[in-house]
Amino acid sequence: MSLQIHHPYQRLFPALLVLLLAVSVASIAVGQWQLGWLVSLQSLTPWQDQLEPHVLAIVQQVRLPRTLLCLFVGALLAVCGALMQGLFRNPLADPGIIGVSGGASLGGALGLLLLSFGSINLAFQLSVPLFAFLGALLATLFVYRIGTTVMGTSVTVMLLAGIAISALSGAALGMINYVADNQTLRDIALWSMGSLTGASWGQIGLTGVAAVVLTVLAYCRAHQLNALLLGENEAAYLGIDIHRLKRLLIIATAAGMGVSVSAAGLIGFIGLVVPHIGRLIAGPDHRMLIPLSAVLGALLLTLADIIARVIVAPAELPVGIITALMGAPFFIWLLIQQRQTMVH
């Protein structure tokens, strides 16, 4: 079956890709040392050897890794949000709001605590994404079990379950902070606010693979997600194994959140805001919403990271603070829209 693409989406998607490239170049140019657009572009070409050594070092060791991590983490968060909203069939579902990010952060903090107790080798380094994944998976399963009945998914129960998970995660993080040493305490504090500093090529490889695999997996399940929007019974009548699809989406979302949180800490509201913007552009069809969310998520997080670097220059804010300042008013607007819909 050929993919029928709406005309506005067909025009806008290539423009967004060009804009994403421009923002990525700007991310390389902006910082404590301003490099300029031409130098930033040259650093991405085969003629980069003509640049001065210190400029090349800034690009290759700091700016480029950070920009790539922005792109992959933003895409991961946005696709996870789109999958979760499709799974719960509710536009307010977001990994941060329903406690999944809290579970992932608790697991990641446990992984960081393990790092402080042992020698830093591959097994210990893998403990952070592994524990973050397990925390996200347990939180997602808990929210799904509590919020879903034979009558469907209750957004009120789901949000209350998210509040409970966030409270428990906060209490457990407080205990970890109490027993951690000074360096680990500082690492956990900065990490919990969302930070893209110190991006390594190992993190970039992990998040890049996760972003590509999750986006492709979600796109391949787009038809099933579209059918799920009609209701679980209707989707089952169409021959879709609902329980298998739910298990797959829950594990995929938990894995994506675990990788994202382990690499960049807690970055909220990307998974809530981006799918809504995507629906305004392309509608609810997941065949268009999934790739559009990935591009918009990468674009929005990179823009937020640029703002975080320049707003209090030469210092910089954690990017999670910027995304919260951007996303919280949007969430309030969504609640007002939901309230008006219930009234009418």
Q: Average pLDDT, whole number, for the chain?
A: 82
Mean pLDDT of 213-230: 93
Coil, helix or strand for 152? strand
Range with lowest mean pLDDT among 18-22, 48-52, 56-60: 48-52
Range with lowest mean pLDDT among 22-31, 32-41, 237-246: 32-41
On the 0-12 / 13-18 / 19+ scale of CB atoms within 10 A, 131 is buried
147-191 residue pLDDT tens: 777 666 666 787 788 888 888 888 988 888 888 778 778 777 777
Q: Are 61 and 220 in contact (CB under 8 A)?
A: no
Name the amino acid, one letter, at 296: L
DSSP letter for 284, please.
Answer: S
* Predicted pLDDT at 186: 79
Residue 32 pLDDT level (bands cut at 50, 70, 90): confident
* Predicted pLDDT at 8: 67
DSSP per-residue string spanning 17-50: HHHHHHHHHHHHH-SSS---HHHHHHTTSGGGGG
Model confidence at 241: pLDDT above 80: yes
258-289 residue pLDDT tens: 889 888 888 988 998 999 889 888 888 999 99
Model confidence at 91: pLDDT above 70: yes
Dihedral sign computed on CA atoms, order 271, 276, 279, 285 = positive
Determine the Cα–Cα distance for residues 58 and 169; give it in Å rounded to an integer.
37
